[in-house]
Structure 1
Amino acid sequence: MRLPSSVAGLALLALSSGAAFAQAAYPLAFDNCGFTVDLGAAPKRVVTIKSTATEMLLALGLEDRIVGIAFQDGPAPEPWSATAANLQVLSDKLPSQEVVLEVEPDFVYGGWESNFAADGAGERATLAGLGVNTYVSPAACRSIKPAKLTFDELFDEIAEVGLIFEATTAADTLIAAQKAELAAIAPDTRGLTALWYSSGTKAPYVGAGSNAPAMIMEALGLNNIMSGVDDGWVAASWEAVVDANPDVIVLVDATWNSAEQKKKLLAENPITSQLNAVVNERYLILPFPASEAGVRNVGATADMAAQLAALSF
C-alpha cells in the first residue's frame, strides 16, 4: 500500500492488504509527486481540474467542498451527473491562476501534474505561498515517475483522498465496492491481442505498458501490443499497428475524437482497413474520462469485459 513518505500526527490502522487509512489528526504533511503538502485542516474550498479529480470527490460525497471545476473531459455519469451539472465551471480548458484564485480555494486537486504550470493553474510552490494547497493524482506524476499502475495503487489514491478530506468511511466503502466489482470480472482466456487507440489521425496515440490502459487490458486478459513501452501512452505508427494486427481495438470515445470517428478513419485508411479487428468490427469502447486513472476504471473494465465476451471470433 502506498503511504505518504512523511506524515505528521497521523494514526494508522494495522497495515495489511487493502487496509484503509485511519482518520487524520491534523496538522498533516505528506509527499505528493515529490512536493510536500502541509495541511492544517481538511480542505473546505476545492477547485478540481480534469474529470478524474472531480469524479473522485463526487464518488466520496464531497461535492459540497467543490467551489469550481475546470478542464473536464466529458460529462459525469450517473449517479453524479445531476450534481456535477450544478458545479461552477471555471474554464472549459486549463484555467489560469487568476481564474482559480477568484473563487478563493484552499485546495486545488489536479488530474495531471502539468495542470500546475505558470501558464496554467499556477505552480505548486506559488500557490502554497498564497495559502492554497495542491494535490496531483499519483498515477499522473511526472516529476517522479510513478510505478506501473495497479488497481491497488488506484485504491490507495481513494484512501489517501479520503484521509485528506476526513472521509475515510466513504473511502473504505467505495474501495470495498470496487474490489468486489473487480473480483467478479473474469479475464478472457482466448489469448487475444489488443490495441488501445486513444487519439490521433496521422499517427495513433496509444496505450502503452504502465498506466490505466495497461492495467485495464491486463484485467480483461488482453495482450497489449504496446506493452513493451514503459510509459502510459505513446505515439506509435500505423505501420506498427498493421504489423501487430491486433485481434481487438479499444476505442476511447472523446468529444473531440469520438469512437465513431475512429471507426471511420480505420475503415477508410488503406493502411488499417484490412486489419482483422477493423474488417470484423471487433471494438471495445469506453468514454475518455474512464480511460485515465480514477474511480471510473473498475466500472469501465466491467463494461468492457461484457463487450469482449459478446465479440465473435
Structure 2
Amino acid sequence: MSQAPSQFSSSAPSHVLCPRRRTSTALAALAALGLALVLAGCGGGSDDAAGKPEEGSASAVAGYPVTVRNCGTEVTFDEPPQRVVTIKSTSTELLLALGLGERIVGQAFGDGPVPEQWAEEAAGIPTISDEAPSQEVVLEHEPDLVLAGWESNLAADTAGERDQLARLGVHTYVSPAACQAPQDQPDRMTFDLLFDQFQEVGRILGAPEPAAELVREQRSLLAEVSRARPGTTALWWSSGEDTPYVGGGIGAPQMVLDVLGLDNVVGDVDQTWTSLGWEAIVDADPDVIVLVDATWNSARDKIDQLESSPATAELSAVRRQRYLVVPFPAAEAGVRSVPAAIDLSGQLGELGLLEPTQR
C-alpha cells in the first residue's frame, strides 16, 4: 500500500462459455468451483486478439488503445471503461471531479463524506463495502475497471490480484502515489506528479479535456497558497496512539507541507508514511502539528492525548495550541490535496505563522 503484468492471450476450449460480462450468479459459481484459471483462455483482457478491433477499422475507438504502466503493471485499454468500481475516497472523488460519476457502479472503503459540491451525485452511487471489498463483491457489479487508492486494495484477500482480474476481463489502476515497490513509487510526491495522474486517468476514461480543465483549475488555486514563515517546522500525525503514524518525506503529506513552506521534522525519512516514537517527537519539538481528523481517531482525541501526557504537553506546538486540522479523505494524494493546502494555509494565517508579506 508489484504485481505481474496484467495482460494475457490464449485460446479457450470450445466448450467454455466466455461472455464479456457474467451474471453475479455465474461469478459466484465460478469462484466456488475454482475455475478462474480456465477463463484465462477467454481473452477477457485487453490483449485479446479475437475481440480487439483491427487498427484503422470502423469499430476502433478514436484515441485508443491507451497503454499505461501503473505500479509495475502494464495495462492496455481498447476503449473507455464504462463500469467502474472505485475503492477509497480518492478514486471516487477523482471520477466525480471529472464529471464521470455516472460510470461508478459501486464505491467501497470510503474515508468520509465527499465535498458538498458532489454530495448530490455521490448519493446515488451504491456503496458495496465499508471496507476493502472482496473479489466476489466487486465482480457482482460487473466492472470493466477497478480504480483503487491503495495497492493493498488489489490483493488475494481483497478485490483480487491484478493478473487474476485481467483474466476475468477487468482492468485495474492504482493511484501512482500509492505504489509500494521502490522502483515504482515516486522519489518524492509533487503536485506535478498528481496532476499527471489526473490526466492519465482522463486519457484512460476518454475524458482528456475534463482532466486538462481540472488540472488548470487546480494549478490556479495552488498559486494562491500562502507560505509559512521560513524555518517553521511541522509534524503530520495521521493515526496511532502508542506509536504515532506520521507523514514521511516522499508522500502526500510532504507534498502539501512543501507547498506550505513547512519543514517536515521527519522529512529525511524516505517513506510515504512511517512510525515515530513519542520520544523522537519530543526531541524534534515541531512548531505546528498537523492532525488528521478521522471518525475513528479524531483531531479532538489527538489534542486530548497531547495535552494530557506530561511529556507532550510541553511541546511548543501544544503549549501554544498550534494545531492544523485536515480531514482524513484529504490526507492522501487526490483532488482534495490543493483545497487542503489552501485551507491549511488559512489556518497558518490564523496562528500568525505566515510570511509577513503574505498575511
Larger Rg: 2
Alignment check: 8 A CA contact 1:24 1:164 kept: no
Partner of 1:299: 339
Residue 130 of structure 2, aligned match among 80, 92, 117? 92
Please list the CA deviations of residues 86-119 of structure 1 after superposition, one character each: whole Å capped at 9, or x if unmatched: 2100100000000000010000000011110000
Output one character per residue of 1:25-48: Cα deviation in whole Å (capped at 9) or x when no partner: 212222111101121210000000
For residue 214 of structure 1, what is the aligned residue in structure 2? 254
Cα distance between partner residues in 2 of 1:225 and 1:37: 38
- State the one-letter code of the partner of 2:76: D
Q: Report if aligned partners of 1:205, 1:233 keep a CA contact under 8 Å in 2.
A: yes
Residues 68-87 of structure 1: pairs in structure 2 closer than 5 A: 68-87=106-125
Give the CA RMSD over aligned residues: 1.4
Matched pairs, number: 292
DSSP-derived class of the 2:312 partner: coil
Q: Deviations over 1:44-92 (max 9, x none)?
A: 0000000000000000000010000000011101201121122100100
Q: Distance in 1 between matches of 2:73 and 2:193?
A: 19
Structure-2 separation of matches of 1:273 and 1:203? 16
TM-score calculated relative to the size of structure 2: 0.79
1:203 maps to: 243
Report the identity percentage.
55
Question: What are the Cα deviations for residues 148-194 of structure 1, in whole angstroms up to 9, with x where unaligned?
Answer: 10000000001001111111111111100100111111212242111
1:112 is aligned to 2:150 = yes
- Would you say 1:275 and 2:308 are equivalent positions? no
Equivalent residue in structure 1 for 2:281, among 241, 249, 270: 241
TM-fit CA distance, 1:223:
0.7
Find the counterpart in structure 2 of residue 175 from structure 1.
Answer: 215
How far apart in 2 are the matches of 1:226 and 1:163?
36
Aligned pair partner of 2:103 in 57, 65, 75: 65
1:44 aligns with 2:82: yes
2:305 equivalent to 1:254 = no
The one-letter amino acid of 1:287's match is: P
What is the DSSP-based 3-state SS (H/G/I as helix, E as strand, rest coil) of the residue aligned with 1:84? helix
Given that 2:107 and 2:127 are in contact with CA atoms closer than 8 Å, whether structure 1 keeps it comes out as yes
Q: What amino acid does structure 2 have at the position aligned with 1:294?
A: G
Q: Match for 1:135 among 173, 179, 182?
A: 173
**Residue among 295, 318, 324 paired with 1:284:** 324
Give CA deviations for 1:252-306 in whole Å, capped at 9, x if unaligned.
0011101011111111122211111111110111101111010100000000000
Distance in 2, Cα, partners of 1:260 & 1:83? 30
Unaligned runs of 5+ in 2: 1-46, 48-60, 354-359
Residue 123 (structure 1) aligned to one of 161, 184, 187: 161
Q: Secondary structure at the match of 2:258?
A: helix
Structure 2 distance, partners of 1:188, 1:308, is 7
AA in 2 matched with 1:256:
W
Aligned equivalents of 2:170 and 2:63: distance in 1? 20
The one-letter amino acid paired with 2:220 is A
Normalising to structure 1: TM-score of the pair?
0.91
Distance 2:104 2:81 in 1: 10
- Provide the C-alpha distance between the structure 1 equivalents of 2:63 and 2:167, rounded to a whole number of angstroms: 23
C-alpha deviation, 1:214, in angstroms = 0.5
Structure 1 contact 206–236 (Cα < 8 Å) conserved = yes
Counterpart residue type for residue 79 of structure 1: Q
Tell me which residue corresponds to 1:161. Answer: 201
Tell me how far apart the structure 2 counterparts of residues 162 and 108 of structure 1 sit (CA, whole Å): 15
**1:24 to partner: Cα distance:** 6.3
Contact (CA 8 Å) 1:24, 1:166: kept in 2 or not? no
* 8 Å CA contact 2:234, 2:289 repeated in 1: yes
Q: What is the CA–CA distance in structure 1 between the aligned matches of 2:287 and 2:74, rounded to whole Å?
A: 45
SS at match of 1:68: strand
Judge which range, 122-131 or 81-90, deviates more. Answer: 81-90
Secondary structure of 2:117's counterpart equals coil
SS at match of 1:249: strand
Residue of structure 2 in register with 1:14 after alignment: none
State the SS of the aligned residue for 1:37: strand
Q: Is the 8 A contact 1:207 1:232 kept in 2?
A: yes
Pick aligned residue for 1:308 from 348, 352, 355: 348
SS at match of 2:314: coil
Aligned with 2:234: secondary structure? Answer: strand
1:194-231 CA distance string (max 9 Å, x none): 11011110011011100110010111111110001001
Offset, 1:312: 4.0
